[in-house]
Amino acid sequence: MSKKVLILGGDGFCGWPTALHLSANGYDVTILDNFSRRKIDIDLNVQSLTPIASMEDRLAAWKEKTGRTIGFEKINVAKEYDRLLHILNTHKPDAIVHFAEQRAAPYSMRDSQCKRYTVDNNLNATNNILCAIVESGQDIHLVHLGSMGVYGYSTTHAPIPEGYLSVSIKSPDGAEEEREIMYPPSPGSIYHLTKTQDALSFYFYNRNDGIRITDLHQGIVWGISTPETDLDPRLVNRFDYDGDYGTVLNRFLVQSVVGHPLTVHGSGGQTRAFIHIRDTVKCIRLALENPPARGDKVKIFNQATETRSVRELAEIVSRMTGCEVRSYADPRKEDQENDLWVENSQFLKLGLQPTTLSEGLLKEVKTVAANYRDRCNLSKVPCTSLWNAKQSLDTVGTPLDLLPHHEERERERTQA
Amino acid sequence: MSKKVLILGGDGFCGWPTALHLSANGYDVTILDNFSRRKIDIDLNVQSLTPIASMEDRLAAWKEKTGRTIGFEKINVAKEYDRLLHILNTHKPDAIVHFAEQRAAPYSMRDSQCKRYTVDNNLNATNNILCAIVESGQDIHLVHLGSMGVYGYSTTHAPIPEGYLSVSIKSPDGAEEEREIMYPPSPGSIYHLTKTQDALSFYFYNRNDGIRITDLHQGIVWGISTPETDLDPRLVNRFDYDGDYGTVLNRFLVQSVVGHPLTVHGSGGQTRAFIHIRDTVKCIRLALENPPARGDKVKIFNQATETRSVRELAEIVSRMTGCEVRSYADPRKEDQENDLWVENSQFLKLGLQPTTLSEGLLKEVKTVAANYRDRCNLSKVPCTSLWNAKQSLDTVGTPLDLLPHHEERERERTQA
């Protein structure tokens, strides 16, 4: 009998290709979603660069192409607890994959309403899911998409470990105690804050109720398509390029196609971890196939395959396309230069063969971007979500070289 | 001009005497409350052992006795953000004291509804307050009542420090790095979980927006009255003795008066930190008088004056009253024996002179309990909120010596 899995947030950028990948690999998949991501598009007056089909058409196309059925339930898991519990009691899933969170850092910092929505939605969604698993009395493996951003960024001589850190604590009497702790979190946005708070919920429910949980600390996703989304135009994945939801590399690729300078924020020395969407969906499957045993602590994977600085990325894209790289005032409060070294041996040991930036796959994404360039609204490219009151909409979105005293101002602002 | 302070949750067990104490000490006090605590009493079919007056009568009595005015706004800060922001913009407080959270661990574990309410209420309340402070653009000092329970319980050779811990991290290359981290949290209930999640919110808003924040990690409060609540019967504080909201020592005192055996859970070897309500209100004032400077990290105090095991407490009360001590099946998942050593020098340095258990103040509380013994509902004494599915209502509330194989079962359950 095939394994039953619920994909919460299965209409989104990571959720949709995951649902297809698991269905293609023999899982009995049901998507739960409230279309919040599509509705935020309406509020922001942007749209996916790719024309995404409705959920009805997506599922019909999948059935038509593969003969496989994916179920769907429209539900807001952060608000409709009783219905969520009913779904667990009737579907009796073996596992739940939890993508049902507001997932953009800039959107989470846009204004009070967005901050409050992100906290309310993400924390209640996670708690409702955990609470419903306990109340259902079933042994359901929960796989959650977390973020590399929960770690803050390392300055040690060691790579960031997969979730847990050994430290030693010295006492006044000279005694020294070794202890394993969760890696000290340092969230850089409200969105990341909710992921660090989720981690504490997982810790508690795992210890108190024995729920088996895997938390995936994912890097920044790039790319758009997977073998499954390529099967039919109606299966195409969403592709965001706007200042709130677009991820940095995908934004650069679109910018290069539409002739916008590549928007490096500040110095571009911010180093981040990356993963291709094709690897994301494989990692989710590997996590499902390798659950923690009963009684085990929360299993944490770093779901990232390489690290690059934003400046490096811009240079790679610029070399491929000849387009200009330009520095803009950084809307975020963040270090302008950092190193990043990430342990990711667990997924490699499980057989993951990463898709790397150097393999020319940028080209595939560039092709998609070029096909839909006419759908791009240039006015949505700049990042306009300001991290705090020290920042000004007058400077954000403006090339640094056009600002008077920009270096000094930038230094003041990011150190403040 | 006197300092303006808002007391959020100022109708509760700690909030009310704090409001009076600050008003008596010259602060311009306004209480914000939604009466959630009184309404939970209705749901649980219990009442404060002391007959508490309505907010209107409380404030009229205070005015009558002291000539001082305390303002009041009925508001749910977790839900009514716009009104909260309006209050900040019009009152322009110098400080906010935040008690506006569901504060009982057993209640937070009662059932799914209580778990979900605690998470939704506490996390949205804290985020709304922080968000509104940022949006108001004012430099408001936030003082939050946290809990000693966020630490979990120490096994090191050093006392639990006040919030921050120095650790050293060894790298594979032999390098060693010293780092100061937030003390690794280990919440033992949903209530405590929300306090550890609050701590991350404070960390983020302090770093990103420069909000000045003091977080008070308070021990278990005992006692009932302060010099201010003693001024008039209409100013009396609430006194909880039930299995959800009663704190352990206050429960023992009521039990001794009404002839119920003292309800020690399991072995009683659980060591906890304590503080008298008179010291709580002084600590809040000291925290307000000693705010962190602009740019400082979150200031954390351990607000506890002594540590005792539950067994010790029961023995003290039993010696005073001659009443029986009896062990009951423990509804919590917790260690049955632990040491606890708490650093609390910050408040002592600021001049706090603790009210200790040995000072015979137990008597004052016992007098109150005796005055209102007829209001006690014995059926509400047992703790009936079960920590997880391994526990059974058939055993909880039953003396251990009446259970077959109780030691074995208890061991299995608490280790599970």
Task: Provide the ipTM.
Answer: 0.95
- Nearest CB partner across the interface for A187, out of B170, B204, B209: B204
Q: How many alpha carbons lie under 13 Å from residue B221 in its C-beta half-sphere?
A: 30
pLDDT for residue A359? 72
What is the band of B2 on the pLDDT scale with cuts at 50, 70, 90?
A: confident
CA dist A352 and A290 (Å) reads 13
pLDDT above 70: percentage of residues in chain B: 94
Residues of B with Cβ-Cβ distance to A177 under 8 angstroms: 155-157
> Cβ of A131 and B120 within 8 Å?
no
CA separation for the pair B240, B250 (Å, rounded): 8
From the CA of A391, how many Å to the nearest CA of chain B?
11
Residue in A127, A171, A203 closest to B116 by CB = A127
With a CB cutoff of 8 Å and minimum separation 6, the contacts of B377 are: B46, B47, B242
CA distances from A408 to A30, A222, B118 (A): 53, 33, 46
CA-based nearest residue to A386, from A311, A324, A334: A334
Torsion of CA A49, A38, B81, A193, to 10 degrees: -70
pLDDT(B249) > 70: yes
CA atoms B325, B331, B337, B339: torsion sign: negative
**A299-303 and A213-218 as β-strands: parallel, antiparallel, unpaired?**
parallel
Mean pLDDT score of chain B:
92
What single-letter DSSP state applies at residue B185? P
Q: Transcribe A189-257 into DSSP letters.
A: SHHHHHHHHHHHHHHHHHHHH---EEEEEE-EEE----TTGGG-GGGPPP---STTT--HHHHHHHHHH
Separation between Cα atoms, residue A238 and residue A220, nearest integer Å: 15
Determine the average pLDDT of the residues in B94-108: 98
Residue B394 has a pLDDT of 72
Confidence band, pLDDT 50/70/90 cuts, at residue A399: confident
**Which residues neighbour B317 within 8 Å (Cβ) at sequence distance 6 or greater?**
B249, B252, B253, B256, B262, B323, B362
Dihedral (CA of A173, A184, B184, B304) sign: positive
pTM: 0.96
Q: What HEC string does A346-359 produce?
A: HHHHCCCCCCCHHH
Task: Verify whether the Cβ–Cβ distance A158 to B137 is below 8 Å.
Answer: no
Rg (CA), chain B: 21
Q: Could you give the 3-state DSSP secondary structure of residue B143?
A: strand
Closest chain B residue by Cα to residue A167: B169
Touching A: B residues 289-348, CB under 8 Å: 333
Res. B401: pLDDT tops 90: no
Q: Do A387 and B131 touch (CB under 8 A)?
A: no
Q: Is the pLDDT of residue B125 over 70?
A: yes
Residue B414 has pLDDT above 70, yes or no: no
Sheet with B141-147: list strands edge to edge. B71-74, B28-33, B4-8, B95-98, B141-147, B213-218, B299-303
End-to-end CA distance of chain B: 58
Among B120, B165, B200, the residue with its CB nearest the CB of A169 is B165
Q: Residue B50 — very low, low, confident or very high, per pLDDT cuts 50/70/90?
A: very high
The pLDDT value given to residue A402 = 80
Q: Measure the CA–CA gap between B143 and B146, rounded to whole angstroms.
A: 9
Confidence of residue B153 (pLDDT cuts 50, 70, 90): low
| pLDDT at position B43 | 96
Q: What is the pLDDT of residue B171?
A: 82
pLDDT at A368: 75
Q: In DSSP terms, which residues pair with B218 in a beta bridge?
A: B147, B303
B415 pLDDT more than 80? no
In the chain, the amino acid numbered B48 is S
pLDDT digits (tens, 9 = 90+) for A293-352: 999 999 999 999 999 999 999 998 898 888 999 999 889 998 888 888 899 999 999 999
pLDDT in tens, A359-390: 765 776 677 777 898 999 989 998 989 999 88
